[in-house]
Structure 1
Amino acid sequence: MNDIAHQLKQGKLIAYPTETVWGIGCDAFCEKAVMDLLSIKNRPIDKGLIVLTDKVERISPFLQALPTDRQAEIVATWQHLHTTKQATTWLFPIPNGTKIPMWLTGSHDSLAIRVINHPAIAKLCASLVDDDNPYGFLVSTSCNPTALPPAHDLYTAMSYFGSGNVMFLDGKTLGFDKPSQIRCAVGGGVIRI
C-alpha cells in the first residue's frame, strides 16, 4: 500500500471497492488530484466531497466538539455494520484550528467523514498518514461519470475511467445491499438515506 499511497501523493487517482459500490478518489490534501477528480466526474466543487479514514482515533478533533452521547452514537454506526449492512457518513463541523481545504467542503462549513471497514481501503488510508494528511483522508465519491450508474465491479470502473490518471485497486465490495447514508453529526438527522 505504501507504493500506492506514494502515487496518490503525487496526484494519481484511484478506483476501489467500498462497502456497497466502487468509489473513486485521491489523497484529500492533494489539490491537483481533487481538481482532476472533479473534472473527470463533471462534479461541481461546491457540492463538497466525502473523505474516508481507517480509525476513529484519527478524527478525534472532529468528535471532541460533540456531546459524549452523540460521539458514542457516531462510533457505533461505524462499529456495528454487520447488523445494519449500511455504511454511514457523518457531516462534522470543522473544529477551530483545523485546516480543511475548501475543495473538500465545497460551499459548506462541514466535512463528510466515514471510518471505512473495508480492510484494503482502511490500510490505504493508514498509508496516507503524514504531516500533510494527519487524518489519512482518502476522497470517496461514487465511481461513475455524473448521470451514469456507479460501478459495482472492476470491469465497469475500468470502462468508465480506464485511460489517464486513474489506478485501480482490484477487490470486492463488502456486499452491503443498502447505499451509504449521510447524517448530521450535530443533530443526528438523516440527510441522505
Structure 2
Amino acid sequence: MAARNSDWRMDHVVKQVCRGAVIAYPTEGVWGLGCSPYSLSAVSRILKLKKRSWEQGLILVASSIQQLKPFLTGLPEESLGQLKSDWPGPVTYLVPDNGCCPLWIKGAHNSVALRMSSHPVIRDLCQRLKSPLVSTSANLSGRIAAISQLQVRKNFPVGVDAIVPGTVTDAHSVSEIRDLATGKILRKRNSG
C-alpha cells in the first residue's frame, strides 16, 4: 500500500510540475528547488523566491543522458565519454551551449550546467517527467542551503507548491562543478 501511495504522490507532483509548479526535493547533498526548464514563469518564481539573478544560470538534472541529449549535440566523442564516466553522480558539468538552452536556464553564460543525478528521488521524478528538471539549492541566494524538509519550510514558508518526501544522501555536500571544455574544477564536492 505504501508503494502505491508513493506512486500516486509522485504522479501528482509530476502533474504539478507540468502545470508550472515549483517543487522542493532532496538531492545528493542538499535540498533543491526545481521546476520544468521549459516554463519561464516557474523559473522566474524560483529566482524570485531565492532572490537570485537570472544571470547566474541554473542547473538541469536528469535521470539519463538521453534526457540531456539536446544539450549535448555537437560535443566530441571524448567529451561525451567524460560525461558517461562521471555520471550518474554528484558532478555538474558546464557544457558549451549549442543554441538549445533557454536563456532563463543558462543565464549570462555561454554554457549550460548539466548533471545526471544518482539520487533516487531525482531519477524517479525525471523518469516520470521524461525531461530534465531545474535544480538549485533551497536557500535564499548567498545563504546556507537546506538539508532537511523542515529547513525548506523555514526558508520558504510560501511559494513552494510541493515538497517531495525523501532525504539527502550526503548532507552538507554540494555537487562538484567542472568545466567540460577545460576540465577545470570550479567548485569542489565538499565545499558546501
Q: For residues 1-193 of structure 1, what are the structure 2 equivalents within 5 Å?
A: 1-79=10-88, 81=89, 87-95=90-98, 98=100, 100-129=101-130, 136-175=131-170, 178-193=173-188
RMSD in angstroms over aligned alpha carbons? 1.7
Q: Distance in 1 between matches of 2:62 and 2:36?
A: 11
Partner deviation per Cα, 1:156-177 (whole Å, 9 max, x = no partner): 1111113234310111111266
Check conservation: 1:19, 1:176, Cα contact below 8 A. Answer: yes
Give the 3 Å change call, closer, same or farther, for CA 167–66 of structure 1 in structure 2: same
Check conservation: 1:66, 1:186, Cα contact below 8 A. Answer: no
The Cα of 1:76 is off from its aligned counterpart by 1.3
3-state SS of paired residue (1:186)? coil
Give the TM-score taking structure 2 as reference length.
Answer: 0.86
Partner AA of 2:82 in structure 1: E
Give the TM-score taking structure 1 as reference length.
Answer: 0.85
The Cα of 1:77 is off from its aligned counterpart by 1.2
The answer to which structure, 1 or 2, has the higher relative contact order (CA under 8 A, 6+ apart) is 1
Give the 3 Å change call, closer, same or farther, for CA 165–177 of structure 1 in structure 2: closer
How many pairs align?
Answer: 179
Unaligned runs of 5+ residues in structure 2 are 1-9
Check conservation: 1:25, 1:37, Cα contact below 8 A. Answer: yes
Q: Distance in 2 between matches of 1:164 and 1:188?
A: 37
Check conservation: 2:24, 2:160, Cα contact below 8 A. Answer: no
Q: Distance in 2 between matches of 1:26 and 1:189?
A: 28
Check conservation: 2:22, 2:159, Cα contact below 8 A. Answer: no
Q: Distance in 2 between matches of 1:42 and 1:178?
A: 22
Q: Distance in 1 between matches of 2:105 and 2:66?
A: 20
The Cα of 1:45 is off from its aligned counterpart by 0.4
Q: Distance in 2 between matches of 1:59 and 1:37?
A: 21
Q: Distance in 2 between matches of 1:39 and 1:62?
A: 26
3-state SS of paired residue (1:175)? coil
Give the 3 Å change call, closer, same or farther, for CA 160–177 of structure 1 in structure 2: closer
The Cα of 1:64 is off from its aligned counterpart by 4.6
